[in-house]
Amino acid sequence: MNPTVRHMSLSLVLSAILLALTPALFAGQVEVIRSQIDPATLAVQKSIPEAIPLVRGFRAPQTGPPWPHTLPTTDTAPQTVEAMRIVAPRLASDGLLPVTADVIQTIGPDAFNAVGDTPAAILKQVGLPVDLLDHFTLDGARELALSRSIAARLAKGNKLEDIRAWLTSAKFEFAPSAPGFRLASEAGQNDIRMIRMQTPTADYWRGQGDGSAPDVIRGMATAMPAARLVLTTAEPTADRLRTAAQAWSANRSGDITILASPWTPGQWAQDNGKPGTLPKSGDGREPATLTPRYASRGEERSACEPGETWCIEALGRLGHRLIRSPLLFQGGNLVVVFDPAAKQRVLLVGEAEIYRNTALGLTRAQVEEAFRIECGADRVVVLPAVSFHIDVELSAREVDGKIVVLVNDELAAATLIARCAIEALQKLGRIEKTDADAALADLTAGRAGQMAQRIAKPVFGLRNAEGTYPLDVVEAFKDGPVDSGVANIARFLLAMDVLTGLQLKPEELPADLFARAYIRSLQRRAADRDRMHAALKELGWRVVPVPGLSDENRGINYVNGFHVPGRYLMPAYGGFYSSVDAAAAGAINAALGGSVEIVPVLCGETQRRLGAIHCAASIYPDE
């Protein structure tokens, strides 16, 4: 053999070997870090019930003794019980300082002359958020000094109404929990250093492609291969999750770290901690997480979730800074957008977060200012509660130096969903082709009422005598074994409600009181959505509707995604509604000027559990 040919052959062989080894050589590492929490501390944490705290001012401590969270026992002093009866109903309406004065008078001012932490313990026990007193100044006094000042005036015989008048001159001067911290802008302006996610399981709900937690994690890991991926899960799940992660890591340069927790976390990593950065020694900034007073669920009232509150503390094992805020919030209702035209960091806040904190005795203006300072923003804009969180209603991105906001277009989504359903009805043989064609023509022309009338009989006929959907109907609304026909039918029925209900005039509302109230709720939500869009436009931002329904477990949402440089990570429902995914992707691509790659991340089952990918992850910028 010619030596040159031999050398070329050897070179090709070595190249092939090197190419085969490249993924292994450059793949990110996968490690599991076990919890080392002190058993006594864990016992205290587990003593906190998963419920609405009965003591209004409850706060989850990172260190030290726990804050009271239960009602007093029967041997509690009568004046303490009476003070608690003052706090709960009056804290929101009267305000923190006046109620503090009433509490001190009720318990007796002498109790507040004690040295040490006794005054704070008394105020905590009756439900006052004593930590918020530290953000008020009056005659140079703060927190316990302020409570002692109130007690001293009462002891000298000052009337309560005079003390209340004196307290009106107090100044609210909120001090940030971590000076220099700022929430990350979510407008796609920075590369991503780290992704934080949580999962209660390593198993798919039905199988790969169903959009459950493992699909979302795999999709995010694939979409951002250079970012470090940090996953929190329960201890029994950690090893199985590591096996799955090793497969995902083959084409990633970023490491995957699994934090094994004594808690079983939920999937919603966005809500128990908001991503941001802190200045580090020297130049640059490093990732940090702002955590709420306690992690909570619910919109009208805030139920404490102990697992979500403390599972995030495993991040401390990585040297990651956790900042426990005295403010109560759910992260999906806080979104920061850096507006390059105004040179401002704008904090968008869902109005529920305002009310969570006015319930702690702050005024609306004080809550807005506290969030502005705590989150490192220049401006706060409060948005109406269209959905339970604003991150299922909007997604903002910088495009050519200006902000474009993607928002839900319910009518467009409902139209697309109805098209899919009409085709399924035709395949089932439940509607004549002529009627199906006419219904589709009605949809195209915007004649929702006529369309509904044409398909009403076939739709009502889908259910059997027991009022349930037989297997053949469920199967017709599925596209493969991991799809959910039942959930797809639910979305179709919602689409019909939207198409017809939003276009009814007051005199056309049904006579049935329940149906009337339901339709009016849809109309009120649409009006609130219009108000939200108007508020965004007032910022000088361009608001672009894209197909989407945000209706908790009946939603099909495309704005609950992530903007990163050059790409938008879009929630994808998949299956029966893949054509809706494609239409949404096209609308988003057009809205962003065609210069941004749309990367679908399957999350159908996750959406059926009330969220999408923005709800399920937090991403940390490289600033």
The pLDDT assigned to 382 comes to 98
Residues 509, 546 within the same domain? no
Q: Is residue 23 part of a domain?
A: no
The pLDDT assigned to 25 comes to 46
Query: Nearest 10 degrees: CA dihedral of 100, 102, 105, 108?
Result: -60
Q: In angstroms, rounded to a whole number, what is the distance separating the alpha carbons of residues 254 and 30?
A: 9
Label residue 111 exposed, middle or buried (CB < 10 Å: 0-12, 13-18, 19+).
middle
Classify residue 468 by its DSSP letter: S
Residues 513, 527 within the same domain? no
Residues in the chain: 623
24 has a pLDDT exceeding 60: no
Q: Is residue 12 part of a domain?
A: no
Residue 7 banded pLDDT, cuts 50, 70, 90: very low
Which residues is 173 bridged to in the sheet? none
Domain interval for residue 99: 48-134+136-172
Residues 6+ apart with CB under 8 A from 34: 235, 238, 260
Task: Read off the amino acid at residue 17.
Answer: I
Helix pair angle (410-428, 485-501), 10° resolution: 120
Cβ–Cβ < 8 Å for 251, 27: yes
Q: Which pair of structure tokens corresponds to residue 403?
A: 């902000």
Residue 143 banded pLDDT, cuts 50, 70, 90: low
CA 406 to centroid of chain Cα atoms: 17
The pLDDT assigned to 113 comes to 74
Residues 476, 589 within the same domain? no
CA 82 to centroid of chain Cα atoms: 37
Domain boundary among 520, 553, 578: 520
Cβ–Cβ < 8 Å for 345, 379: yes
φ, ψ at 304 (rounded to 5°):
-65, 135
Give the pLDDT mean for 143-148. 69
Name the pairing type of β-strands 303-304 and 296-297. antiparallel
Residues 530, 582 within the same domain? yes
Q: Is residue 613 part of a domain?
A: yes
The pLDDT assigned to 492 comes to 97
Cβ–Cβ < 8 Å for 147, 123: yes
1 has a pLDDT exceeding 70: no
Give the pLDDT mean for 563-575. 97
CA angle 147, 327, 397 (to 5 degrees): 150
Q: In angstroms, rounded to a whole number, what is the distance separating the alpha carbons of residues 482 and 575?
A: 8
What are 497-508's pLDDT values in tens digits? 999 999 899 999
Residue 4 banded pLDDT, cuts 50, 70, 90: very low
Distances (CA, A) of 404 to 3, 21, 301, 386, 443: 62, 43, 33, 19, 28
Instruction: Of 63-72, 101-110, 177-186, give the range with the top mean pLDDT.
Output: 177-186
What are 368-390's pLDDT values in tens digits? 999 999 999 999 999 999 999 99
Cβ–Cβ < 8 Å for 405, 536: yes
Residues 446, 344 within the same domain? no
Residues 256, 397 within the same domain? yes
Strand extents, DSSP E, 165-227: 171-172, 182-183, 192-198
The pLDDT assigned to 116 comes to 62
| pTM for the model | 0.92
Give the pLDDT mean for 243-259. 93
What are 535-546's pLDDT values in tens digits? 999 999 999 999
Classify residue 537 by its DSSP letter: H
8 has a pLDDT exceeding 70: no
Q: List the CATH number of the domain containing 207.
A: 3.75.10.10
Residue with tokens 């793949």: 27
Helices (H), 393-511: 410-428, 433-445, 448-460, 471-476, 485-501
Give the pLDDT mean for 604-610. 94
Q: In angstroms, rounded to a whole number, what is the distance separating the alpha carbons of residues 253 and 229?
A: 11
Average pLDDT, the chain: 91
Number of domains in the chain: 3
393 has a pLDDT exceeding 70: yes
Residues 101, 159 within the same domain? yes
What are 186-218's pLDDT values in tens digits? 999 999 999 999 999 999 999 999 999 999 999
Q: In angstroms, rounded to a whole number, what is the distance separating the alpha carbons of residues 135 and 146?
A: 11
Nearest Cα residue to 288 out of 280, 300, 296? 280
Residues 211, 222 within the same domain? yes
Residues 108, 141 within the same domain? yes
Give the pLDDT mean for 104-111. 88
What are 397-455's pLDDT values in tens digits? 999 999 999 999 999 999 999 999 999 999 999 999 999 999 999 999 999 889 988 99
Q: In angstroms, rounded to a whole number, what is the distance separating the alpha carbons of residues 615 and 550?
A: 13
The pLDDT assigned to 80 comes to 85
Q: Is residue 40 part of a domain?
A: no
103 has a pLDDT exceeding 50: yes
Domain boundary among 500, 520, 540: 520
Q: Is residue 399 part of a domain?
A: yes
Classify residue 53 by its DSSP letter: -
Residues 488, 528 within the same domain? no
Q: Is residue 177 part of a domain?
A: no
Q: Is residue 26 part of a domain?
A: no
What are 334-366's pLDDT values in tens digits? 999 999 999 999 999 999 999 999 999 999 999
97 has a pLDDT exceeding 90: yes
Residues 505, 539 within the same domain? no
Cβ–Cβ < 8 Å for 176, 373: yes
Residue 70 banded pLDDT, cuts 50, 70, 90: confident
Domain boundary among 147, 172, 197: 172
Greater confidence (31 vs 26) lies with 31
Cα-trace Rg, the chain = 28
Q: In angstroms, rounded to a whole number, what is the distance separating the alpha carbons of residues 105 and 83?
A: 9
Q: Which pair of structure tokens corresponds to residue 255?
A: 């490491």
Q: Is residue 303 part of a domain?
A: yes
Residues 570, 454 within the same domain? no
